[in-house]
Structure 1
């Protein structure tokens, strides 16, 4: 499947990406891909090993005469975000991706493409395969479960990697190099509410907010796009005078993706259904006008349901109030790095079923103490309704080192290859570099990649031309680092 990918240039890289498109690899389901890579490495005579968590390392000795060069670690994650359009029946655990080319971009029909981080992995494999490339000692580190928990990086074995330089191939902007990133933590909130049967005069309405663009909860958090969970809490606030009782809530599927859809069941008295529908129609008109630039297809539909139990009016009011008051979106822009988000929160997943409530939010910040402060605010807010809050999967940020030798050599090489100097950036997303740097403080690190847009959403796409430039820069840098640095 996906034979058209083989027609793209550079063929050595795209051939590996086609393999990644054909092997299902959502987070937590990387085993088949790991087995394939081990077989591939053995067929090429490459050394391979795994740590206790299952992270995979492939190694290739230096080109003869370059054994004394500083070792390079090529790093990426094997898993991909599993997001599909509402009308897609794609099974990420079994089905290959269905890719296609359009106007110079590679996309997938109805699903995420997995260019994040499949193209970085493919590039590392292409480097290992290319015997014409002059290089020092090479390690390719492929981590697991980056998209769901950073589990691979957090559990990476210490005293395992041997290189001096780490090239993280997991950023998404052409002509840019990243030298710092946000840290973060998952914030999980849980509570169990009592429920009671519907009364004869009550009817259920099911509200669905959809048509949102979605996106990456770090890279796109500042773009003002709609968050289905936040919009739903506002819709329920608009219904407050009708004294609704919550039945259910299903909004978002991943804590690191902006939720594109949410469906809520509420019950109100029959005699007020018509008025409630009108209020919701007015609210839909309001948000369509509000989001016309960012989410032009946003919609709110209302259908009838057949619930048997619901929360009390009072518990509904309390839960809606705290969800509506919860911090979300950009909290603060960085004062140190112009134009970069410092701290944010994504209300990623909200679930309510048979009285059991669960929220999973993802807090990000360039400052680790700001992550803690945001977690404390959320904990305090939801304590007002008796809920339990737990912070999990915390990971540190990556502090910039603008004077590092690796960065200087990259910038010089980038300009010689492309004719322009790269932009030096700090990213509001959770690259694994912060975690890896804490475990291996001797590593100098940079992150770069091709142009990817719409990551973590079904609109994910990669600019084909940028992949060729990315490959030329990567090859050139590896050859450059095989030689000793020139004196300043």
Structure 2
């Protein structure tokens, strides 16, 4: 499958991407890709270092005649989000991504593609490996675990980098230059409940919410997409007097809008008709609400083997009220930058099984006080229901600098190359720039990249034409880096 991708232009970019995608590289499971990058650097006889947390730094001297230019840090993260369709048989720990060309796009066969941030990694690899590309001194920084905590960026200590400019290659619209991003914090709520024997006079069912688009919980949070956990809760809430809940399993990763949710319930025989009527009514209402943004949404149920245990009535009521109360989606829009989501929350995971309840959220904001405010609101909601709440993995946002020298250089370069102005933006995703700036506060930072859609979902796809545009912009930017003072 990947053979066709290797023939795309620019070949050096797509071939390095194909090589990278042959290596399993899930977040917190980066051992193989770290070794891959070390071998890559050593094969080129470039200084290659792995820091104590697992970040890989590869340094390459400037091209002849460009020694007087400022040193540039080129940065991308090695890990990728692991998501697959429920009917896809694939082992992320042992298999390489199966890539296919679909019209103007490269995508994967039933899984995430890893273009986020694999195309950025591949671009840096291509610069490091080339003997023809003109560039200043390069410090390639490949961070780990960006997708599930940014622990690589957080763990990078001062002293490893000397560069004055950082090019982060991790944004997903080729006409944008990013100068700011949101910070985030994980909100985890845990509780227990008592089980009782399932009613004998009942039928056991599995309810499924499937077919949602999913997507990036930052970049896509304002697109009106459905959240499978919230939709499932609406269905169960509407039918709560007719059912008893046994299990719920919805969503997955915190940074992915949940695409699917499944629950197991019993329905009293005497209430089967009422349940069927109510189920059809609420399912129809929800599908009508999402007919534009989620045309493939399916809400269904099927008969399963008899359930043995269910939640107590009071536990069920508390659970449904709690999930209903947990805020999800856009919380505030930025008053300073047009169309920028300032603060949001993603109810990412709901797991109810074996007398344990786990609810996981990711709260994002470009304003620290607003991030804390929403996180405290969620914490209060869960604690009122008796949950133990933990706020963890907090990372800072990246404050925009409209007077950035590299921004001026790249804006001018873009206009000359493409005869149009780039969109200078801040994004609602969690870029690593804010964290890296903690230990390297004087570094002038910018973020850009090729057009990627559907990141963090099996619909992830990278635009072929855009990759070529991004590559041209990157190489011209390297040629135009200003001289050292």
User: Normalising to structure 2: TM-score of the pair?
Assistant: 0.97
User: Within 5 A, what are the aligned runs for 1:216-227?
Assistant: 216-227=216-227
User: Within 5 A, what are the aligned runs for 1:4-43?
Assistant: 4-43=4-43
Offset at residue 69 of structure 1 (A): 2.1
Offset at residue 78 of structure 1 (A): 0.4
Asked whether the 8 Å contact 1:66–1:482 carries over to 2, the reply is no
CA distance in 1: counterparts of 2:334 and 2:16, whole angstroms:
38
CA distance in 2: counterparts of 1:388 and 1:276, whole angstroms:
33
Quote the residue 1:44 is aligned against. Answer: 44
Offset at residue 296 of structure 1 (A): 0.8
Quote the residue 2:196 is aligned against. Answer: 196
Quote the residue 2:282 is aligned against. Answer: 283
Deviations 1:399-456 (A, max 9, x none): 0000111100011111122222211011011011111112210111000000111111
CA distance in 2: counterparts of 1:200 and 1:289, whole angstroms:
36
**Structural RMSD (CA):** 1.3
Report which stretch shifted further, 26-35 or 392-401: 26-35
Quote the residue 2:373 is aligned against. Answer: 373
Offset at residue 122 of structure 1 (A): 0.3
Deviations 1:296-341 (A, max 9, x none): 1111111223221111111101110010111000111111111111
Q: Are positions 1:268 and 2:289 aligned together? A: no
Report which stretch shifted further, 45-54 or 200-209: 200-209
CA distance in 2: counterparts of 1:339 and 1:40, whole angstroms:
41
Offset at residue 274 of structure 1 (A): 2.8
Structure 1 stretches of 5 or more lacking a match? none
Offset at residue 132 of structure 1 (A): 1.6
Quote the residue 2:252 is aligned against. Answer: 253
Offset at residue 67 of structure 1 (A): 2.7
Q: Are positions 1:232 and 2:227 aligned together? A: no
Asked whether the 8 Å contact 1:189–1:389 carries over to 2, the reply is yes
User: Within 5 A, what are the aligned runs for 1:65-214?
Assistant: 65-214=65-214
CA distance in 2: counterparts of 1:445 and 1:260, whole angstroms:
34
Quote the residue 1:383 is aligned against. Answer: 383
User: Within 5 A, what are the aligned runs for 1:254-333?
Assistant: 254-305=253-304, 306-333=306-333
Offset at residue 63 of structure 1 (A): 2.0
Offset at residue 279 of structure 1 (A): 1.1
Quote the residue 2:57 is aligned against. Answer: 57
CA distance in 2: counterparts of 1:152 and 1:399, whole angstroms:
20
Asked whether the 8 Å contact 1:310–1:355 carries over to 2, the reply is no
CA distance in 1: counterparts of 2:266 and 2:159, whole angstroms:
58
Report which stretch shifted further, 224-233 or 260-269: 260-269
Give SS of 1:20's match.
Answer: helix
CA distance in 2: counterparts of 1:255 and 1:389, whole angstroms:
16
CA distance in 1: counterparts of 2:93 and 2:107, whole angstroms:
19
Offset at residue 355 of structure 1 (A): 1.2
Quote the residue 1:399 is aligned against. Answer: 399
Query: For this pair of structures, how many residues does the alignment match?
Result: 484
Offset at residue 384 of structure 1 (A): 1.8
Report which stretch shifted further, 364-373 or 25-34: 25-34
Give SS of 1:467's match.
Answer: helix
Give SS of 1:346's match.
Answer: strand
After superposition, the Cα gap between the structure-2 partners of 1:453 and 1:347, relative to the gap in structure 1 and judged at 3 Å, is same
Q: Are positions 1:434 and 2:445 aligned together? A: no
Quote the residue 1:453 is aligned against. Answer: 453
CA distance in 2: counterparts of 1:349 and 1:387, whole angstroms:
15
Give SS of 2:179's match.
Answer: strand
Asked whether the 8 Å contact 1:205–1:303 carries over to 2, the reply is yes
Asked whether the 8 Å contact 2:68–2:483 carries over to 1, the reply is no
Deviations 1:171-190 (A, max 9, x none): 00011100000001111110
Asked whether the 8 Å contact 2:168–2:447 carries over to 1, the reply is yes
Give SS of 1:171's match.
Answer: coil
Report which stretch shifted further, 326-335 or 279-288: 279-288
CA distance in 2: counterparts of 1:8 and 1:484, whole angstroms:
36
Offset at residue 87 of structure 1 (A): 0.9
CA distance in 1: counterparts of 2:2 and 2:447, whole angstroms:
28
Offset at residue 484 of structure 1 (A): 5.7
CA distance in 2: counterparts of 1:120 and 1:93, whole angstroms:
22
Report which stretch shifted further, 176-185 or 302-311: 302-311
CA distance in 1: counterparts of 2:296 and 2:472, whole angstroms:
39
CA distance in 2: counterparts of 1:67 and 1:293, whole angstroms:
54
CA distance in 2: counterparts of 1:193 and 1:233, whole angstroms:
17
Deviations 1:208-260 (A, max 9, x none): 11111111111110111110000011111111332x32211100111111101
User: Normalising to structure 1: TM-score of the pair?
Assistant: 0.97
Asked whether the 8 Å contact 1:209–1:299 carries over to 2, the reply is yes
Asked whether the 8 Å contact 1:2–1:22 carries over to 2, the reply is no
Report which stretch shifted further, 466-475 or 56-65: 56-65
Deviations 1:248-280 (A, max 9, x none): 110011111110100012223221123212211
Asked whether the 8 Å contact 1:100–1:106 carries over to 2, the reply is yes
